[in-house]
Amino acid sequence: MVKVKDGTGKDEVEQLHGKFRRLSYPGMVSFTIGSDLGLRDGNWSFAIVADFATEDDYRVYDQDPEHNRLRAELAPMVAEIARLQFAC
């Protein structure tokens, strides 16, 4: 989940979402990114849920240069970020 800094434009965030959506890797089962609907005050700005077949498939995604370039593009917009990985 990401909370963007005040003053970050909605269009800027949506453009970045599109770039993340274009990422594709072997073993990626699903990838969802979306902005908060604004139904409650205090929610975070957007979330990414990426499912992978194996932990090794996740590590390929996590270490990929294009993925890390997009992380660097996102970084200046971020006020807070929360991450976790779990197995079902």
Task: Return mean pLDDT, the chain.
Answer: 96
Q: Where in the chain are the domains?
A: 2-81
Mean pLDDT of 50-69: 97
- pTM, two decimals, is 0.91
Strand 46-52 to strand 78-81: parallel, antiparallel, or no bridges (unpaired)?
unpaired
Fold of 2-81: Alpha-Beta Plaits (3.30.70)
CA angle 61, 65, 23 (to 5 degrees): 50
**Maximum Cα–Cα distance for the chain, whole Å?**
38
Please give the pLDDT value at position 2: 98
- Cβ neighbors of 15 (< 8 A, separation 6 or more) are none
Please give the pLDDT value at position 88: 85
Residue 11 pLDDT > 90, yes or no?
yes
Closest CA to 20 of 4, 9, 31, 30: 31
